[in-house]
A and B are shown apart, each in its own frame.
Chain A
Amino acid sequence: MIAKISNLRLDNLYTGKINKTQMLSSQIKSNEIVFGSCNKDLIEEIIFYGIGLGADFVELFIENTDSSSVLAEEDFITSVSPSFGRGAGIRIFKEKKDGFVSTNDLTKHGLMRSITQAIEMLDITDNKKREEFHGLNKHRDYSLSKRKWINEVPSIHEISEKLLVSTKYLKKNNKIITRKGSYSRSLQEVIIASSDGTYASDIRLHQTVGLNVIASDAQYRSNGSRRFGSSGMPNEFRLWDHEKAANDVFESSMNMLYADYVDAGQMPVVLANKFGGVIFHEACGHLLETTQIERRTTPFENKLNEKIAHESVTAIDEGISEGSFGSLSVDDEGMEPEKSILIKDGILKKFISDRAGELRTGHKRTGSGRRQNYSFAAASRMRNTYIAKGEYSKEDLINSISDGLYCKSMGGGSVGATGQFNFAVEEGYLIKNGKLTNPVKGATLIGEAKEVMPKISMCGNDLELAPGFCGSISGSVNVTVGQPHIKVDSITVGGR
């Protein structure tokens, strides 16, 4: 609203500098993107315009969202927040450079203005070597069977009732001083098109529900929380076992209420399955994204087909598990996701790559181009990422440790610019002589991927996935992390 955007080149289309007869579609039927309709002619015109001005590649990501969230606190609904919106992200490439413009204006004028701006940003003036655009391919419409979802998801009333029952389940004694239940649902309709002919549309549904409590007794305090999530399953919230979840959260908070702080030190740890997989996600997964190769910030850049982990470790990133939080029918660059075996028996086999990653690093795309929304350019991002199951039972792992830590529930974590990672242990227990003993709090696991990966010496046979949100270069995206129970022979545990 403040800074004016140049329309300098917008008129080119209408002054003959781009030959309209080059266009496959001579008749423009709509002057604005209409969701649920055929927008092929308009999108082709936009792409022609960008290619005509000298871009090597033009990509459009157009989005229409409808979201709701509900919060229950104690025995009341305290927040209901619907939102809706739409916008487009337009990216053009010239050689290995890219210019990205996002806008809420989905009219032809708005989209052309954005593409003009992207062209100007890249300072494209050389029109001699011009890429060709032969029009969009046949529309791949992944949304056909999904249009009914909006009518199948639970109503706010239904959600509210179940959340209130859930928070009531949490009220098991007077030490629970805060009880919360939250639900959010995002329905995202996308159109993806690019100058290589890609033309796809999809509808994505993500639902997540969480419970958390604070327990308090005199000077003691503890938290308990669990989050559940799914994609593409409108009925999933109805099937959620809220009583079991509430019992789990309650027990976790009670177990930790009087826990002592853990003593800091180096020790062996057993990481639980499900969200325990955050260690692999943070410690290694991010370093296998091609964005890290582009920045030269991964120690694994030149390690393809070399051993980077213990031979017991096989790690996978995929977007195809039905209903998992990180699954997709098509990625945000129009490619169907593949199952990528990143590490096989300790040997690095593949990087997670997107279009820019392939262009700049040579690693083939894996259907992992992802973004939070239209205002971010897609980047190589994890989807459902997990360590494959091994042969041991949880008890085998714990029995193998005389003095260590069992991390039953993990908090969030992060990885630094030089590869150090850390993440918090929400619920931990000391292991003494092969047995679980006292609960401990305040533990943080600290390390570096290339040092920790060879120390994952035992993998359990109980692989499970857990949903989460991953924040990185292209915003916050839905992912799952996962693993069976695993043993790390030695890691730094931060404490007091």
Chain B
Amino acid sequence: MNSREITTQISKAADSLNLRKWDYGASFSNDYSVQVDKGEAKQLKASQKQILTIRVWNQSNLVGITTTSDISESGIKKALKQANIASDFGNKNESTEFSPLAKDPIKVKEVKERIPVGIKKLLTLLREAEVKLIESHESIKSVPYNGLSETFFERVYANSDGAFRSYSKSQAALYLYARAEEKNNKPRSSGSVKLGYGVEDIDIESCIKEASNKTISHLNYSSIKTDKYLICFSPESFLTIINAFSSMFNARSILDGVSLSNENSIGEKLSTEALNIYDDGLHDKNISSSPFDGEGTPTKRLCLINRGRIENFIHSESTARIFKTIPTGHAGLGSKVSVSPDWIVVEKSEENLDLKTSLDHSTYEGEFVYIEELNAIHAGVRASQGSFSLPFDGWLYKNGKKISIESATVAGDIKYLLKNIVNIESSQEVTTSGISPHIWVDELSITGDA
């Protein structure tokens, strides 16, 4: 069945069950991926997946939901029946409706259609990349974590009120994590990830070069003294920390009492006036963009922090209604509708006179710690408390020299971090999770050797 036929099938089945109000979200995908080990194919993988999530409203306007991978006629009917049963337990305290924007026009990025290159081509490209990466430096002995994949998928949202949206797209990903070994030293590892709409869009050479350079740059390492340091966050690491604490802008988290913000936080000053943060799912550079969210609301650019102050929260249909605003296109379909950011864009505002512009990661000669990548986010972030304690990969810059930090964690509080931003560099960099310049923060604790 195609997506139109599924919609018709759901409509018919709902009629037969006397269910008048329903919506659904579905995704259908074909994935192909390869991994290699020293020139040999290690695992080759292909999958066809289909996931359907159906919501129904009962006569008391309570919502029930069911998710299934069985999109046969009988599977759809069973899903509707189960959702109807689940609606008896629907949330009586917070009603859910269709998004008022579910029929508004959506903006679909024009992207040239890619066709699958196939497993053999993926394998050839990854083998070549592995060889090149190992040959790039004598200390690089292996590429233990690697993969090249391409995915083709379709997403659909439709409801009993006549809304129907669908889009198809493709995405390819390459990751290369090299392992370098030198006598009498600990092994060191680093890597690179590149995304594209198709395999032909991925800059494989730059992925190899980046993985090699990063790995080699960690060969000369040393422990770091436990202390407070001036920190320069790479664009990737700053975006990681903003995403980890995005509950500050999340209306669902606020209503659930797990956010550092509250309903009155709009306008609260969080940071220097030089800081602007947007959520921009439709950004040209966002390979993973989606023109609508799980409730069918169009995706749009939304300012979260304007000149250091909270400007907007991200919303689903129900949170928007409670906050007396409109949905922002950040909902995920579920029994309890989730809310999450799409793609964060960090910018320097025009109000930037208080910044220490001499702090530039490529020219600054004083002592600082450069945090390249933050790790173990799931373990080290307490979003509801605002605290974090995270291992990282990075370097200590001291006396004009750069040395990789052996093993350390950075700890602090997100509000303290935002308030202590001392510079936002001018040049932004595109990463897989958003865009940001390098961000400098004063006085964060680093644990290394005692």
Residues in chain A within 8 A of chain B (CB atoms): 1-3, 5, 70-71, 73, 76-87, 96-105, 114, 117-118, 120-123, 156-157, 160, 177-178, 214, 221-223, 261, 264-266, 294-297, 375, 377, 411-414, 416-420, 422-424, 441-444, 446, 448, 492-496
| Supplied contacts A2-B152, A99-B46, 11 more A-B pairs, CB within 8 Å | A3-B30, A77-B91, A78-B91, A84-B66, A99-B44, A100-B45, A121-B46, A266-B449, A413-B379, A446-B407, A494-B408
Closest-CB distance, A260 to chain B (whole angstroms):
12
Q: Is the CB of A79 within 8 A of B91?
A: yes
Task: Please state if B379 and A178 are interface contacts (CB–CB under 8 Å).
Answer: no
Residues of A within 8 A of B141 (CB): 296
Whether B43 lies near A223 (C-beta < 8 A) is no
Q: How many A-B residue pairs have CB under 8 A?
A: 244
Least CB separation from B144: chain A residue: A295
Distance in angstroms from A370 CB to nearest chain B CB is 16
* With A3-B152, A222-B385, A444-B389 as contacts: A82 and B376 at CB distance below 8 Å: no
Could you list some 9 contacts between A and B, CB below 8 A? Answer: A2-B152, A70-B89, A102-B45, A117-B46, A178-B384, A223-B382, A295-B145, A375-B47, A423-B376
Chain A proximity mask over B203-226: 1 for CB below 8 Å, otherwise 0: 000000000000000000000001
Residues of A within 8 A of B449 (CB): 266, 492
Q: Is there contact, CB below 8 Å, between B384 and A223?
A: yes
Q: Which of A223, A423, A496 is the one whose CB lies under 8 Å from B412?
A: A496
Q: Which residues of B contact A495 (CB under 8 A)?
A: 389, 411, 445, 447
B332 touches A (CB below 8 Å) = no
Contacts of B145 in A (CB 8 A): 295, 417
Cα A448 to Cα B391 with chains together (Å): 13
Chain B residue contacts of A413, Cβ below 8 A: 376, 379
Report the interface size class on chain B.
35 or more
Q: Who on chain B is nearest to A282 by CB?
A: B379
Say whether B186 faces chain A, with CB atoms less than 8 Å apart.
Answer: yes
User: Which residue of chain B has the shortest Cβ distance to A157 in the bound complex?
Assistant: B89
Chain A contacts of B336 at CB under 8 A? 71, 78-79
Q: Does B20 contact A (CB under 8 A)?
A: no
B28 at the interface (CB under 8 A from A): yes
Contacts of A117 in B (CB 8 A): 46
Complex contact B93–A494 (CB within 8 A): no
A87's partner among B69, B93, B412, B445 (CB-CB below 8 A) is B69
Inter-chain CA distance A416–B188, complex, in Å, is 10
CB proximity of B187 to chain A, nearest CB, Å: 5
Contact of A441 among B44, B152, B387 (CB under 8 A): B387
Judge whether B82 and A82 touch: CB under 8 Å: yes
Asked if A105 and B256 make an inter-chain contact with CB atoms under 8 angstroms apart, the answer reads no
Report yes or no: B64 in contact with A78, Cβ–Cβ below 8 A.
no
Q: What's the least CB distance linking A417 to chain B, in Å?
A: 4
Are the C-beta atoms of B258 and A178 separated by less than 8 Å?
yes
Closest to A122 in B: B44
Q: Complex Cα distance A221/B413, Å?
A: 12
Cα(A357)–Cα(B79), bound, Å? 39
Is B68 an interface residue when CB atoms closer than 8 A count as contact?
Answer: yes
A104-B50, A178-B258, A417-B177 given as contacts; is B89 within 8 A of A296 (CB)?
no
Q: Is A2 a contact partner of B46 (Cβ separation < 8 A)? A: no
Chain B nearest Cβ from A182, distance in angstroms: 11
- 9 shortest A-B CB distances, which residue pairs? A85-B69, A494-B409, A264-B447, A1-B28, A295-B144, A83-B67, A79-B336, A494-B447, A178-B257
Binary A-proximity of B59-92 (CB < 8 A = 1, otherwise 0) = 0000011111111000000110011011001111
B28 touching A2 by the CB < 8 A rule?
Answer: yes
B110 at the interface (CB under 8 A from A): no
Cβ-defined contact, B47 with A103, below 8 A:
yes
**B380 vs chain A, min Cβ distance (A):** 6
When the two chains form their complex, are residues B153 and A214 in contact, meaning their CB atoms are under 8 A apart? no
Is B142 among interface residues, defined by CB-CB distance under 8 A? yes
